[in-house]
Each structure stands twice: as structure tokens, then as C-alpha cells.
Structure 1
Amino acid sequence: MNHARLTPLVLLLALILSSCAPVFRNHGYVPDDQSLASIVVGQTTRDEVPSLIGSPSAEGVLTGGAWFYVKSRFEHFGPYRPAEIKREVVAISFAESGTVANVERFGLERGRVVVLSQRVTDPGVSAASALRQILGNFGKFRADQIFGQ
């Protein structure tokens, strides 16, 4: 077999094999633990939070309101639909006085909301039920519908 015929076959085989490697894409933003440590529960105000950790992805309607920071990781593999393989949410609740009342980090394990960390001044304050709804709805949308890609 001559090299002129072999070269396109080798290139085609290389292209096919490279398309079998998964591609990962991250969407959204969640502040890390070091950044969240700068928020003092009961002292930091709603106006100070964006300068400390950035603006939220969404706002909720809870007692005093809550801010949500959402980050998802999608795996793209060949011709298959992208699959969300990881989701993390940080929920910051505010007291009526405007100070931070609660900082919680949630993850998704086997389709269930799991509290990864929590700092609370009032144990009655919880964003978990609203967060279960938010996290439950994420899997019902495709990434291109949400992010326009």
C-alpha cells in the first residue's frame, strides 16, 4: 500500500480515536471555602457580600431573601448528549436586618440534595427545601438551552 492512500486513513483513524475522549465544561460560579470564610455570619451585610465573593447566580424568596451561587460540570462524549456529572450550590440567607444569617454548601449525590457544609445563626433558617427544587430542575434542561451554546 502506498503512502498517499495510507495517510488519509491514518488521519481518519486519529480523528475517530480523538473524538472518543470526553470533554468537560464548567458552567457557573461557586465561591471556594477560603472566600466564604471572609463572610461572618451575623455581621456581614447584604451589601458587603458581592465585594467579598461576587454576585449571585440567582436570588430566592425566603425569610429575608437568599442568594444562590450555582456551578455545574458537564461531560461531553462523542455524539451523546452532555451529561451533568457534578453540581454544587452555595446558599446565603439573610436576616431581616440585612446581615448574613446562614451560609450553606450543597451538592448532588445520586439525585438527592446533600448539605456539604453549613454555618447558621438561627437553626430555623434553611434554604434546603427551595434548593431541592432548584437542583431538581437543573437536570430537566440541556446546557445549550440554559447557556445559549
Structure 2
Amino acid sequence: MLGKGWNTRLLAASALGALTLMAGGCASIKDHRGYLIDPALTGSVQPGIDNRTSVERALGQPTFKSEFGKQIWYYVSIDTKQRPFKRPQAKTQNVLMVSFDEKGNVASVDRRGMEKVVSLNPDGHKTPTLGRNRSFFEDLFGNIGSVGAIPGQGGVGGGPQGSGPNGS
């Protein structure tokens, strides 16, 4: 036979186990997206010395390239953190921009961080538009009778007979 103390210890152990499981579900999730920046490699790219081939060999393919104007390669790295039941938020962001001249040589190397990130908070209530404000039902039923109406026959969209473009 087991004593009363054993029941209390079993209850305390099961409560501690349940608490541990619940706390594990509340942990934040950390994630890395994009290019893995190696300071030794990114520091080795020198303007006037390197070209497209040497940059690609040292750093690999860029995250994306500029399509128009001056040729710039972008290496983007973002670290995010997501709390339970929330959207992921960027904690750190690094962008390495390598620009090239017309001959394909490195013209400049620029590094940017979170100071250039813009936070947008759009207004989710209503998007302003030009034109009339119509209700859902006006949009749904507003064209009934006007589509397919024959001009000159009266009815919706038609005028009195004889006012058509041919004047009959």
C-alpha cells in the first residue's frame, strides 16, 4: 500500500509535466531567410579589383539583380522571430549591394541594414476609389435590363424611336 505522500508527489509531477508541455508550445520561432552572410567573404570584394566572375565565385549567385539602369547585384539576408499566434517580424536585415561599371568591374560595395526598412500600416477599413459609391446590391443587380437592350425600342438604355445614329 502506498501512502498519501505518494499521491501528492504523483500529482505534482504530472502538473509539472503538463506545465512543461504547455510552455513548450509558447516558444518563439526564429528563422533565417535569404543569403548567409560570411563577413570574411563579403569583405573580400573590392571595388576596382574584382569583376562579375570573381564576385560570383566568392559570394555565389545574388538574391536578385537589377533589370534596368546600372547593374547591381543584391545579396539579402533577413532574420525573423515569430511569437505564438503572431506574424513573423524581421529582427535583423542585411543587404549587400555590389554595383558594376559598363565593363563588368566592381564599382562600389554598399551594406545596408534595418535603417532602410519601411513599416507600412495600411488602413483596412475602405479603399478610396474614383466614381460612384455603390452598394453590393447595386453592383450585383445594377446592369439588369441595360445589357442587350436594343436602342430605339424604348426600355432601359434606349431612347425614343428615331433618335438613333441612323436617324430612322
1:17: how far off?
A: 2.0
SS of structure 1 residue aligned to 2:79: strand
How big is each residue's C-alpha offset from its partner over 1:58-105, in whole Å with a ceiling of 9 and x where there is no partner? 111354411111111111222222211111100111101111111000
Determine if the alignment matches structure 1 residue 43 to structure 2 residue 34: no
Does the Cα contact within 8 Å between 1:59 and 1:66 map onto a contact in 2? yes
> What is the rounded CA distance, in whole Å, between the counterparts of 1:136 and 1:91 in structure 2?
18
Instruction: From 97, 102, 107, give the equivalent of 1:96.
Output: 102
Identify the structure with bigger relative contact order (alpha carbons < 8 Å, sequence gap 6+). 1
> Map of 1:31-110 to 2, 5 A cutoff?
31-109=37-115
Instruction: Give the structure with the larger strand fraction.
Output: 1
Partner of 1:15: 21
TM-score (norm 2): 0.58
**Coordinate RMSD, CA, aligned:** 2.8
Larger radius of gyration, structure 1 or 2?
2
Does the Cα contact within 8 Å between 1:24 and 1:75 map onto a contact in 2? yes
> What is the rounded CA distance, in whole Å, between the counterparts of 1:136 and 1:57 in structure 2?
20
Does the Cα contact within 8 Å between 2:73 and 2:98 map onto a contact in 1? yes
Partner of 1:127: none
Partner of 1:116: none
1:6: how far off?
A: 4.5
Relative to structure 1, is the Cα distance of residues 99 and 30 closer, same or farther in structure 2, using a 3 angstrom cutoff?
A: farther
Relative to structure 1, is the Cα distance of residues 91 and 50 closer, same or farther in structure 2, using a 3 angstrom cutoff?
A: same
| Percent of aligned pairs with the same amino acid | 26
How big is each residue's C-alpha offset from its partner over 1:10-68, in whole Å with a ceiling of 9 and x where there is no partner? 22211222333323111111533321232221221112211112211111135441111
Relative to structure 1, is the Cα distance of residues 90 and 62 closer, same or farther in structure 2, using a 3 angstrom cutoff?
A: farther
> What is the rounded CA distance, in whole Å, between the counterparts of 2:69 and 2:48 in structure 1?
15
> Could you list the runs of 5+ residues in structure 1 that have no partner in the other structure?
114-134, 141-149
Relative to structure 1, is the Cα distance of residues 35 and 49 closer, same or farther in structure 2, using a 3 angstrom cutoff?
A: same
> What is the rounded CA distance, in whole Å, between the counterparts of 1:18 and 1:57 in structure 2?
34
